[in-house]
Structure 1
Amino acid sequence: MTRLPQIALLSDGRRLHLQDGPIDLIIEARGRAEAVRAAYEAAAQRFTGLLDELCAELSELRAAAGPQTSLKGVVALRMHEAVAPFAADGFITPMAAVAGSVAEEILTAMLRVAALDRAYVNNGGDIALHLGAGEHFAVGLMDRPDGGGVIRTMRVDATDPVRGIATSGRHGRSFSLGIADAVTVLAATASQADAAATVIANAVDLPGHPAIIRQPACELQPDSDLGARLVTRNVGRLSQNEIAAALESGAECARQLFDRGLIEGAVVRLCGDMLVIGQKDIEEQRSRPLVLESAVA
């Protein structure tokens, strides 16, 4: 018998909360009342059993992605598709795109049954978006994922190609090979944003630096998809030049992904400093909120 997830409207009466094991979603849809109701029912129905689907193929999802796959599930295949463009450049598993892929799947289920003006599915900061004509979505940037303050706000308009937002870094829910406090990526889909954020966050690094404490991932979590690879546990004092070098390493990775059409933009943050990458970084137009000059610690 399929385990039933926790399903409830939040106290504001507008947002839906779905939780099952490590998957924790906040959903909001706007439109006609009957459309919103149908969308929420579809989200709850699709969410039920989704974790079991992923667990059934977990061993392959935790293995290094290759050009071919024997994965069967819709979400599992989406995860593999999202990380496949990065597989030739280094180690990555489909798990790098799990949160974004789940958010994308739930949003797809909602839109299949209802015409909505606007909707989002937020899976721990990895967000799948639907924006009807004239709609927009504002997302706050925090200095680090476990922080409490918003330092800037980004606006995504319906005319923009962005429908996915994801954040990765050493303070997030997953381990990181790099030292970024946070990397926020905008992409065409949530799964693509999730995979790219992981890759860019890993690239923000100072290999061999004595102030950076690392530990094999398997010592912290025996079943980690990263195995014995060293993940960042603590970052000591860095000079301004070292911070700039680490940020530039991540920024260069992001620029390459932007040039390949894999992302629409990225914000890379470390020790209170920030770099913005993407077309909106250089075009001072109506999307001005994306042009971020500095971070506030």
Structure 2
Amino acid sequence: MNGPQAHWLADGRRLHLNHGPIDLIIEAFGDAAERRASCVRAVARFQTILTELVEELPELRRPASLTPRVFAGPTARRMEAAVAPLADSFITPMAAVAGSVADEVLAALLAGRRLERAYVNNGGDSAIHLGKGGTITLAIAGTGHGMADRITIRAEDGVRGVATSGWRGRSFSLGIADAVTVLARTGAEADAAATLIANAVDLPGHPAVHRVPARDLSPDSDLGERLVTQGVGGLAPGEVARALDNGLAVAENFRRRGLIAASALFLAGQTRISGSVALAAPNKHKAKETAHA
């Protein structure tokens, strides 16, 4: 595996950082000198993140409990803090790894700098910075389901993390959601919550759902022998509704507990929305200012 890589994309505005499974797109808005200095800090912080995580990987793959464990690395601590409040269900810190890495790099990007807006997108899970009165427009999964494919987040919404999970994504899922997008206070919290809500969008034992043990696909998976979804066949509209309602119940519970701000759940052309953030609001911002979540 190559070491950490950093380069500017062709547009000259977005920075691409890559190391093994971590793939980040970063964009900062504001004074040019501030943007350059912030990106230097982000690149420097990125150099050791994967190494730090690998050093604690065995424990990070173990299930969380309601009492947080102590980890040495700051990214690992973010992961544990995000999953501990959700540990009444099975979850490991790995459920928050993408969002936590985004949060950690964003923190480095902002340290000592004055930026109007910024985002760090880690494979679709994003950490966001908004200055006073700022807004940012995000592209979300689930398009083609009767929803707008853009959401606009305002500074006053308190949302600083967006994540998407589902069986079609790059990580394993126990459920059958095409996609679940969550808005929360941090990327780590959004990532962890999206994982569990997507797991809950399910029809246990349904013959149209193809599942295999996670370990058969990835021997080191933190999910072990748990069955992960690899295909979803035809479902009746009532079955789709029941699966989505199962997930919505979990999303509403998280929202009432203050763990998320909002979520959108998608399956087979049907949608459920939890929360007051207007996930279906039309995009009124220029495409060049759109981050992808």
The verdict on a shared fold, with TM-score over 0.5 as the criterion, is yes
Counterpart position of 1:76: 76
SS of the counterpart of 2:115? coil
Q: Distance in 2 between matches of 1:195 and 1:121?
A: 17
Partner of 2:45 in structure 1? 46
Residue of structure 1 equivalent to 2:281: 289
Structure 2 CA distance for aligned equivalents of residues 130 and 152 of structure 1: 21
Q: Is the partner of 2:156 in helix, strand or coil?
A: coil
Q: Does 1:174 find its partner at 2:166?
A: no
Q: Secondary structure, in 3 states, of the residue corresponding to 1:122?
A: strand
Show the 5 A alignment for 1:82-231. 82-88=82-88, 90-143=89-142, 151-231=148-228
Aligned to 1:55: 54
SS of 1:178's equivalent in the other structure is coil
Amino acid aligned to 2:281: P
Distance in 1, matches of 2:150 and 2:27, equals: 19
1:113-168 residue CA offsets vs partner (Å, 9 max, x unmatched):
31100000000110000011221111122327xx9xx9421110111110100000
Q: Offset of 1:173 from its aligned partner? A: 1.0
CA contact (8 A) 1:4 1:49 kept: no
**d(CA) in 1 for partners of 2:159, 2:100:** 15
CA distance in 2, matches of 1:97, 1:203: 17
Length, aligned pairs only: 280
Unaligned runs of 5+ in 1: 282-286, 291-297
- Looking at structure 1, the residues matched to 30 and 141 of structure 2 have their Cα atoms a distance apart, in angstroms, of 29
Question: Is the contact made by 2:148 and 2:280 (CA closer than 8 Å) also made in structure 1?
Answer: no
Structure 2 Cα separation of the partners of residues 208 and 288 of structure 1 = 32
Aligned partners of 2:236 and 2:28: how far apart in 1?
A: 45
Structure 2 runs not aligned, ≥5 long: 283-293
Q: Is the 8 A contact 1:38 1:113 kept in 2?
A: no
Match of 2:256 in 1: 259
| Structure 1 SS opposite 2:281 | helix
SS in 2 for 1:159: helix
Q: CA shift at 1:70, angstroms?
A: 3.7
Cα distance in 2 for partners of 1:237, 1:288 equals 26
Aligned residues of 2:63 and 2:90 also touching (Cα < 8 A) = yes
Question: Residue 272 of structure 1: CA displacement?
Answer: 1.6
Q: CA RMSD, aligned part only? A: 1.8
Cα deviations across residues 3-27 of structure 1 (Å, max 9, x unaligned)? 7411001000000000000000000
CA shift for structure 1 position 247: 0.5
- Secondary structure at the residue paired with 1:84? helix
Per-residue CA deviation, residues 51-104 of structure 1 (Å, 9 max, x unaligned), is 00000000000011122414211110110000001112x210000000000000
Normalising to structure 2: TM-score of the pair? Answer: 0.92
- Tell me which residue corresponds to 1:293: none
Q: Does 1:232 align with 2:229?
A: yes
Name segments (4+ residues, structure 1) moved above 4 Å: none
Which whole-Å CA distance do the structure 2 matches of 1:82 and 1:279 have between them? Answer: 22
Question: Displacement of 1:288 after TM fit?
Answer: 6.8
